[in-house]
Chains A and B, each alone.
Chain A
Amino acid sequence: MNQTTSARTGLGALLRGNTRRYGMAAALVVIVVLFQILTGGLLLTPLNLTNLILQNSYVLILAIGMMLVIVTGHIDLSVGSVVAFTGAVSAIMLTSWGLPTVVVVPLALLLGALIGAWQGFWIAYVGVPAFIVTLAGMLVFRGATLAVLGGESIAPLPPSLRVLAGGFLPWQGEGPHLPTLLLGVAGAGAVVWIQWRSRTRSLAHGLPVPPAAVTVVVSAVVVAAILAFTYALAERNGLPLVGVLLVALIAGYSFVMRSTTMGRRVYAVGGNERAAALSGIRTRRTTFWVFVNMGMLSALAGLVFTARLNAATPGAGTMFELDAIAAAFIGGASASGGVGTVVGAVIGALVMGVLNNGMSLIGLGVDWQQLIKGLVLLLAVAFDIYNKKRVGGGSVGPVLWRRGGAGTGGLDRDAQGGVGSDRRTAPA
């Protein structure tokens, strides 16, 4: 048979199978380098890097949740309104009710989860298309925000909440920010360990692995990037607390989606709902929980955004859903479901974030920013579909990104009803 017998796979095959993922990561690097040059080195200064994290934190949080929603084959248009609503309710709880932040944060997350459960119920159990349910949610929760705020903003907020968006890892000593550096080293170590462990285990099972040089180079690049990034941050205030939160979310959701049966179910439901159901997956329950999760992440984004603004405003979060959706699609999600990775969504969000930040730094107007971002989204997905038509091969990527097939973006899923050919029975 044509099963690969050698324990090594060529670099060519590796790249062929992963054009999409490497393509977008490469695009991110190109964009970073481009703006680093255009801004005369302003982009990668410690101050601006900190800003990049803070500015994009809530979109990153939303993009992770949105990726899950899109993988199940749905969409969520309500996240911007949910961000505003949970932010507003949190602000009321903090100021009018005088509740402490440690109580308000879990309550806000619970509220988000309940909103998600509400929408998930209609989508998963009643069968109303997610587009409709969340479009309704977009209006409902924007209205609810206006109602609870009475059309006014609430500001300022207690410092205990503002820490969420403006706080840094604590450090009193001299010189560079030591905890940040230690975290960077630990992170780099973790990446190397994961790569190495997967490689040795694959070899032990006699499975094909990419050439050692590739693993070493990939690990070295990732380690260098992590160390350079953390060092740059350490020169100033260190890693923002929200950065720690993001790293934890990205790592956690990547693990769940890639390595757990739960993640597999989400992919299966999006890939082919009926096949998933016939494989013993409770498809409706899976969809329901994906929306609960989205609601909770929206609430988290709402807290971070409110903290950063130091105010709850009626217009908060407008268009956030579109940023999150764009990030997921730029990051390789398929509109027909079943395809997409958390790391992809993060890269997608970073591409948008760096574009925003870089274009602002060079003084490009909002008009041009919107136009360029729109074209980037269109080209990224078009590239995807083009790729899907061209390659169909396998993928043996670095462990962190490995997931499923290479192709994404198609809209050609079979959509037949009934049970096979025995379905042709006459209407009575």
Chain B
Amino acid sequence: MIDPAADAGHLLSMRDIRKEFPGVRALDGVTLDVREGVVHALMGENGAGKSTLMKVLSGVHPAGTYSGEILLAGAPCSFGGVVDSERAGIAIIHQELALVPQLSITENVLLGHEVSRFGVVDWGATHTRARELLRRVGLDENPATPVSALGIGAQQLVEIAKALAKRVRLLILDEPTSALNETESQRLLDLLGELREQGVTCILISHKLGEVVSVSDEITILRDGRAIETLTVERDTDGTPSVDEDRIIRGMVGRSLDRRHPEPIGEIGPVRFEVVDWTVDHPTQPGRRVVDGVDLHVRAGEIVGLAGLMGAGRTEFAMSLFGRSYGRHVRGLLLKDGTPLPVPDVTAAVRGGLAYVPEDRKTLGLLLDDDIRHNTTLAGLRHVSRYGVVDQERETVEARRMSERMRVRSHGTAQTVRTLSGGNQQKVVLGKWMFTRPELLILDEPTRGIDVGAKYEIHLLIRRLAAEGTAVLLISSELPEVLGMCDRIHTMCEGRLTGEVPAAEADQETLMKLMTRTGDRP
């Protein structure tokens, strides 16, 4: 059967793609058409299903684990793995780069595609081929340089060259500019335009509205696992696009903001915690400031947002505050109710009333092979033990109580945490820190990778905690979350606070401007 879409010049057609994970429906009948020779942007909030859709396309989720149909240039495909999709000319560049740092640029670019005779690599010819590819991506480096010596922007270009080496027809870039600075980003976007001229079709996943509007020909908006709409971007003679950022946000958000986040409930009290001139150096690169002179305060019952792009130093700030869990030469003062609170280690921080819910629950938050009960009490064992002996029955009771309060869906507190869904795992981590009875709760991306329903529940829990008088510092890359949840928002960029806005007066645009304000450093 020849799909009519193929006649319309579509390189790729994905039809009615459905994909479920335990407890989450990630894709709920997505249809995506991409014309040949365009830059097609895929927009949506975190958890909308963009990455999952691309994993289906590239064979990371092999055929059979999803339903629906994929047509490449009109021909149906079913990929059993990444190797199959690469053979068909699809390459994906993930947020985490897949380069071997110890190997040279050439070796990385042509890994598995070396020019060889009878298995013996012809290094001369291989370098020549690599140089040619580097020229196509505009990277002016000696191909013998080890990749570890390159900056992140250059590494990204090496990744793209590597994709070109596989004679790619469809290049997928998953948030390629999130770790790049302004110049590097612009260079990458220009490259996308050049690749389009060379006949390579690109799918760009990005959260940065400005760059999407400037470079894309088509924009598909995903929301809650569905494709909401596809916009075609026309440009008039002076290059002004026919679609603007507001139009995209409208599509991404879809609902009015005030209904997506629970209403504030309690009163805001006096200042509980204050951070003065907090400065942190990079742990392995002395002298490089990751956090630079941060001053902020959080009141009882207040939710203060910390917005910033990836690499802004928000996690580093939070972890260094939490008992110096990050960095070296941590300097600065933490005041609790006006008196200095020394936090030389995590134990002191926990006793001082701090709790840090880490961004990456699996590697930093949970004992995955242990049960809900032991995870819940781990940081607050002193509440269920005497003379170092744990009262196990009381522990179980407390863990059950906390699970109910956090609305963890499980067969009981003896269930292994690994077997819970992401949202429920996150609730266990939250419960673990609730159990320490914190006075300052630092939440680092508390709803990343969680479906919309669980997200709302977690937001509600955060609101309730604030209503009980807990001071909350909320780190989030999702601007709607920051805007919807916080009373006051700080923006951070390159280790410095760049602005402070009451949530009532803030919007995405102001925040984004403040988050990217790098120029005015003294």
B368/A271 in contact, CB under 8 A: yes
Q: A338 to B412, Cβ gap below 8 A?
A: no
Assess whether B370 is in contact with A420, with CB atoms less than 8 Å apart.
no
- Please give, as numbers and ranges, the residues of chain B lying within 8 Å of A17 by CB-CB distance: 414
CA distance A274 to B432 in the complex (A): 15
Fill in one digit per residue for B384-406: 1 if any A CB lies within 8 Å of its CB, else 0. Answer: 01001110111011001001100
B95: chain A residues at CB < 8 Å are 421, 424
Question: Is B239 an interface residue when CB atoms closer than 8 A count as contact?
Answer: no
Q: Are B415 and A275 in contact (CB under 8 A)?
A: no
B79 within 8 A of A: no
- Residue in A202, A272, A422 whose CB lies within 8 Å of B311: A422
Whether A1 touches B404, Cβ cut-off 8 Å, given contacts A278-B356, A424-B152, A425-B311, is yes
Assess the B418–A268 pair: CB atoms within 8 A.
no
B393 touches A404 (CB 8 A): no
CB distance from B114 to the nearest CB of A (A): 26
B151 with A198: CB separation less than 8 A = no
Which stretch from A37-45, A257-265, A290-298, A310-318 is at the chain B interface? A257-265
Determine whether A172 belongs to the interface, using a CB cutoff of 8 Å to chain B. no
* Size range of the chain B interface in the assembly: 35 or more
Assess the A259–B390 pair: CB atoms within 8 A: yes
| A96 beta carbon closer than 8 Å to chain B | no
Complex Cα–Cα for A422 and B315 (A): 7
The docked-state distance in angstroms from the alpha carbon of A395 to that of B419 is: 13
Most buried by A among B178, B288, B365: B365
Residues of B within 8 A of A272 (CB): 363-364, 366-368
B381 touches A264 (CB 8 A): yes
- For residue B311, which residues in chain A have a CB less than 8 angstroms away from its CB? 422, 424-425
Task: Give B491 Cβ to nearest chain A Cβ, in Å.
Answer: 15
Distance to closest chain A CB from B155 (angstroms) = 8
Q: A275–B363 contact, CB under 8 A?
A: yes
The reply to whether A420 and B367 contact each other, CB–CB distance below 8 Å, is no
**Is A394 on the interface with B (CB-CB < 8 A)?**
yes
Q: How far in angstroms is the closest Cβ of chain B from A361?
A: 39
- Which among A208, A261, A396 has the greatest number of chain B C-beta atoms within 10 A? A261
Q: Let me know if A262 and B388 touch, CB within 8 A.
A: yes
Tell me the complex Cα distance, A404–B285, Å.
40
> Contact partner of A202 among B150, B349, B393, B415, CB < 8 A?
B393
Q: Please name the residue on chain A nearest to B322 by beta carbon.
A: A278
CA gap between A413 and B178 in the complex, in Å: 27
The number of inter-chain residue pairs (CB within 8 angstroms) is 197
Is the CB of A282 closer than 8 A to any CB of chain B?
A: yes
Chain B residue contacts of A414, Cβ below 8 A: 362-363, 368
The answer on a CB contact under 8 Å between A428 and B400 is no
Contact A260 B390 (CB under 8 A): yes
Q: Does A334 contact B (CB under 8 A)?
A: yes
Q: A3-B403, A280-B379, A422-B315 are in contact. Are A261 and B359 (CB under 8 A)?
A: no
Check B415–A280 contact: CB distance below 8 A.
no
Tell whether, in the assembled complex, residue A427 and residue B374 are in contact, meaning their CB atoms are under 8 Å apart: no
Residues of chain B within 8 A of A426, CB atoms compared: 151-153, 179
Contact A420/B393 with A3-B404, A392-B419 known, Cβ cut-off 8 Å: no
A276 proximal to B (CB < 8 A): yes
Given A3-B410, A261-B381: A393 and B367 within 8 A (CB)? no
Asked whether A405 and B378 contact (CB < 8 A) given A280-B323, A421-B310, A425-B152, the answer is: no
Contact of B378 among A268, A408, A420, A422 (CB under 8 A): A268
A193-236 near B? 1/0 per residue, CB < 8 Å: 00000100110111110000000000000000000000000000
Q: Which of A260, A276, A280, A281 contacts B388 (CB 8 A)?
A: A260
Are the CB atoms of B378 and A419 closer together than 8 Å?
no
- Cα A115 to Cα B123 in complex, Å, equals 51
CA distance A142 to B315 in the complex (A): 48
A259 vs B374: C-alpha distance when bound (angstroms): 11
Compute how far the CA of A418 lies from the CA of B346 in the bound complex, rounded to whole angstroms.
18
Question: Complex: how many Å from CA A2 to CA B150?
Answer: 52
**A267 at interface, CB cutoff 8 A:** yes
Q: Which residues from A are CB-within-8-Å of B414?
A: 17, 394-396, 405
Interface string of B203-240 (1 = CB under 8 A from A): 00000000000000000000000000000000000000
List residues of B whose CB falls within 8 A of some A CB: 95-96, 148-153, 178-179, 285, 288, 310-316, 319, 322-323, 325-326, 345-347, 349-350, 356, 358-360, 362-371, 374, 378-379, 381-382, 385, 388-390, 392-394, 396-397, 400, 403-404, 407-419, 432, 444-445
On A, residues with C-beta under 8 Å from B are: 1-4, 17, 198, 201-202, 204-208, 259-262, 264, 267-268, 271-272, 274-282, 334, 336, 338-339, 392-396, 404-408, 410, 413-414, 416, 419-422, 424-428
A and B contact pairs by CB, cutoff 8 A, 22 listed: A3-B410, A205-B393, A205-B397, A260-B385, A260-B390, A261-B388, A267-B367, A272-B363, A272-B367, A278-B322, A338-B369, A394-B414, A414-B362, A416-B360, A416-B363, A419-B316, A420-B358, A422-B315, A424-B178, A424-B179, A425-B311, A427-B152
Q: Which 8 A-B pairs have the closest CB atoms?
A: A394-B414, A271-B367, A405-B416, A392-B419, A420-B359, A426-B152, A279-B379, A422-B315
